[in-house]
Chain A
């Protein structure tokens, strides 16, 4: 017993040291335009306090996003993301929309249905907006999503907002307003991997 006690104390000591280390700088750097810059790659309007930043630390299903836990029983929350590699593979918008919807929330068992699909202009491009809703009474949950599929260079990127609610509760339009501000303010600050690759291949081939 005596031999174990000092080890436990060391554990506490190291634990208290950890709290004294300087806080990591935020991934979001404010600008004088009232926006934030993320990793020198993107600039956008930051959602109000209460929204937590979601980051893909290695690989993952999206590039970045925000999440807010809302009032009410689980699951009462909204997430929105920027995803530079949305589900599917087609570089044609209608086909990609079809592919996307067969994979979206696939693991939730909700089988979301398309409520509306419209052609819009976003970021100076002809894009597609998809409105989906699904429910799973067995898991007491339902979800409502708004998805933008937007051409960028030779590829298609996406912005996705999903609100989760208990099955009997109603959806709230307010979190989608934060998503809209995020999307409408979103700017690319430098060429992405695929744009750089295109240039490299072009140079290579002369």
Chain B
């Protein structure tokens, strides 16, 4: 998150926007955003439908008694302006890889 905030000006130059999604509640996320000085939106998706839609459900504990995950696994997804998922990466985000990919996307847009 720190790295995304650091690169926010570059995302903007490349016409990209960042949205963080978490299963935590709003007050937890507010605290988190304040602690890290985050200026991009964070979504409290406590019912997990969004994370589930993008395949971010954790496959490791902690799980709730009914077996459903209590958190999302770390996953970075880049969606293009048509709503098509163009990039997926699990684990820690690789910001340089994301930025290089956004340059490619921007080239595609400018060619059209």
Q: Which residues of A contact B (CB under 8 A)?
A: 59, 85, 87-91, 99, 102-103, 154-155, 193-194, 197, 200-201, 204-205
Contacts and interface: CB of A to CB of B under 8 A. Distances in A.
A153 to B, nearest CB: 12
Contacts of A201: 10, 13-14, 103, 106
A204 B105 CA distance: 11
A85 B3 contact: yes
Nearest to B3: A85
Contact of A89 (B5, B13, B99): B5
Given A59-B92, A89-B37, A197-B103, A204 B2 contact: no
B103 A204 contact: yes
A116 B79 CA distance: 46
A193 B36 CA distance: 24
A91 B5 CA distance: 11
* SS class, residues of chain B in contact with chain A: helix
B34 to A, nearest CB: 11
B16 to A, nearest CB: 12
The contact size tier of chain B is: 20 to 34
A155 B37 CA distance: 17
A89 B8 contact: yes
B85 to A, nearest CB: 23
Given A90-B37, A99-B37, A200 B103 contact: yes
B37 A88 contact: yes
B19 interface: no
B6 to A, nearest CB: 4
Contacts of A89: 2, 5-6, 8, 36-37
A200 B101 CA distance: 12
Interface string B16-54: 000000000000000000011100000000000000000
B8 A193 contact: no
Among B2, B35, B106, max chain A CB count under 10 A is at B2
